[in-house]
Amino acid sequence: MEHQETARILIAGTGPAGLVAALGFADAGFPVTLAGPRASVPDGRTTALMNPALKVLDRLGVLDDIRPEAAPLKIMRIVDATSRLIRSPVVTFRASEIGEELFGLNLPNSVLNPALVRRVAAHSGIEWRASMVKDWHLDADRARAVLADGSTAEARLAVAADGRLSPAREAAGISTAARSYPQAALVLNFRHSRDHAFTSTEFHTGTGPFTQVPLPGNRSSLVWVVKPETATELAALDDATLSLKVEQQMQSMLGRVMVEPGRQVYPLSAATPLRFARDRVALVGEAAHVFPPIGAQGLNLGIRDVDDLIGIATENRSDPGAAKALAAYDFKRRPDILARSSAVNLLNMSLLSEMLPAQVARGAGLGVLGGFAPLRAFFMREGLRPGSGFAALAGGLRKPARH
């Protein structure tokens, strides 16, 4: 019987994408070296993961650990809260309409990341070097990393899970199309007096989305996208004043609001690499796509990157970093990543059109998109059943032409 040797995989980065990649590759029988810090930065955010991503976490054995602290997402709504003359009607999706009990779960990152870390630390197939990669040497048949602790690691395939600035991507000479937005996200959790009924509501405003996502009990998380200076001002308010502002913004939909301690501000930006693999390096997670937090897309997409990469590596076990395997990965991920990145950026720009100079907005055709419900609905559908959002969007786009 022919025996195919299984090559080692080197993963750089210990954010959620890197940890999921380490577990997935190790479970698929690849010896794994993981390079990156062990202590994670405290993260008060929550992540909405849809059913396809949850299936991956279940397969990796981490879902049972996190489920008790996660809230099911049963209803998702988009409310046009812009001050435009013509506004979109409220769009509501119910999981029950597509025969599902829930769309996904909203998980605190402070629960998800430690659960992944515990699993990785306990996995006998993963060698974790708790050190940053300082230098990359990429040649025709292997990738070699020099770590900050002085050690080196090499493998046929390097997985760049090293975040938005991705030093591995840079070493591979992959350039990105990058853009920054005049926006920042204020992130916090809050209690409320009324039941959320497992509903997430995304209010689309003239500065960006204001998104409430349920947590267990009468609690929710909030991602509020505003101008950077407004985010700084809001973050500096006392609890009572900020609570009132959040309540007003939600039109008291959840009754009285009481913000919890801990506020974070994230500047928004976007970056799309010109390719997703090259010179023994494959990009996953934010190394492969950065866009604003609208419609809970980022890590869902990152988990699909990892899943596809493992599938291709499994078909090329002895050399998963060969040019042929990397070309297959680039080909497979390109449509998914580009469609989502451009749709999120377009949607964000359409909300921002009131903030942009009129000629810029017109030049980008944003007047047509402003207040356009089918585009806004796209993300919800796409997160659930990849492909169905495109069909709905195409249907919606055709309608106005008939009038």
Ligand X SMILES: Cc1cc2nc3c(=O)[nH]c(=O)nc-3n(C[C@H](O)[C@H](O)[C@H](O)COP(=O)(O)OP(=O)(O)OC[C@H]3O[C@@H](n4cnc5c(N)ncnc54)[C@H](O)[C@@H]3O)c2cc1C
Q: Is 262 in the site for ligand X (CB under 6 A)?
A: no
**Least CB distance to ligand X at residue 359 (A):** 30
* Residue from 23, 32, 34, 36 in contact with ligand X (CB under 6 A): 36
Q: Which is nearer to ligand X, 286 or 319 (CB)?
A: 286
- Does 283 interact with ligand X (rule: CB under 6 A)? no
Q: Which of 208, 273, 285, 321 lies at the binding interface for ligand X (CB under 6 A)?
A: 285
Q: 311-315: which pairs have CB atoms within 8 A and are 24 or more residues apart?
A: 313/9, 313/25, 313/28, 313/30, 313/157, 314/28
Helix (H, G, I), strand (E, B) or coil at 146: strand
Interface pick for ligand X out of 161, 254, 257, 366 (rule CB under 6 A)? 161
Is there binding between residue 130 and ligand X (CB under 6 A)? no
- Provide, rounded to whole angstroms, the least separation between the CB of residue 288 and ligand X: 8
CB of 39 to ligand X, least distance (A): 10
- Are the beta carbons of 287 and 162 closer than 8 angstroms? yes
Under the binding rule (CB under 6 A), the answer on residue 132 touching ligand X is: yes
CB 287 within 8 A of CB 302: no
Per-residue burial over 96-118, b if 16 or more Cβ lie within 10 Å, else e, is eeeeeebbbbbbbbebbbebbbe
Which of these, 113, 149, 130, 161, lies nearest to 36 by C-alpha position?
A: 130
Among 14, 199, 200, 201, binds ligand X (CB under 6 A): 14
Q: Please report whether residue 66 would count as binding ligand X according to CB under 6 A.
A: no
Give rounded-to-5 percent helix, strand, coil for the chain.
40, 30, 35
Name the residue nearer to ligand X (CB basis): 74 or 316.
74
Does 344 contact ligand X by CB under 6 A?
A: no
Chosen residue from 7, 9, 15, 328 binding ligand X by CB under 6 A: 15
Longest dimension (CA), the chain: 72
CB of 381 to ligand X, least distance (A): 15
Q: Is 143 in the site for ligand X (CB under 6 A)?
A: no
192 forms beta bridges with: 257
> Which 182-201 positions form the footprint of ligand X (CB under 6 A)?
185, 187
**How far apart, in whole angstroms, are the C-alpha atoms of residue 147 and residue 256?**
51
Nearer to ligand X among residue 48 and residue 254 (C-beta):
48
Q: Are 146 and 1 in contact (CB under 8 A)?
A: no
Beta strands in 81-207 (DSSP E): 91-94, 104-108, 126-129, 133-138, 143-147, 152-155, 157-160, 176-192, 199-205
Give just the sign of the alpha carbon dihedral 83, 219, 237, 164. Answer: negative
CB-CB contact of 30 with 313 (8 Å) = yes
Q: Which of 138, 155, 162, 381 binds ligand X (CB under 6 A)?
A: 162
| 375 part of the interface to ligand X, by CB under 6 A | no
Shortest reach from residue 326's CB to ligand X, in Å: 19
Tell the smallest beta-carbon distance from residue 303 to ligand X (Å).
8
List binders of ligand X among 105-124 (CB under 6 A): none
Determine if 10 is a binding residue for ligand X (CB under 6 A).
no
Cβ 379 to ligand X shortest distance, Å = 10
* DSSP codes joined into one string, 211-253: EEEEETTTEEEEEEEE-HHHHHHHHTS-HHHHHHHHHHHTTTT
Q: Which is nearer to ligand X, 84 or 334 (CB)?
A: 334
Residues numbered 44-63 forming contacts with ligand X, rule: CB under 6 A: 45, 47-48
Q: Which of 7, 9, 10, 13 binds ligand X (CB under 6 A)?
A: 13
Q: Considering only residues 288-307, where is the footprint of ligand X by CB under 6 A?
A: 293, 296-300, 302
Which residues are at the interface with ligand X (CB under 6 A)? 12-18, 35-37, 45, 47-48, 132-133, 161-163, 167, 185, 187, 223, 266, 285-286, 293, 296-300, 302
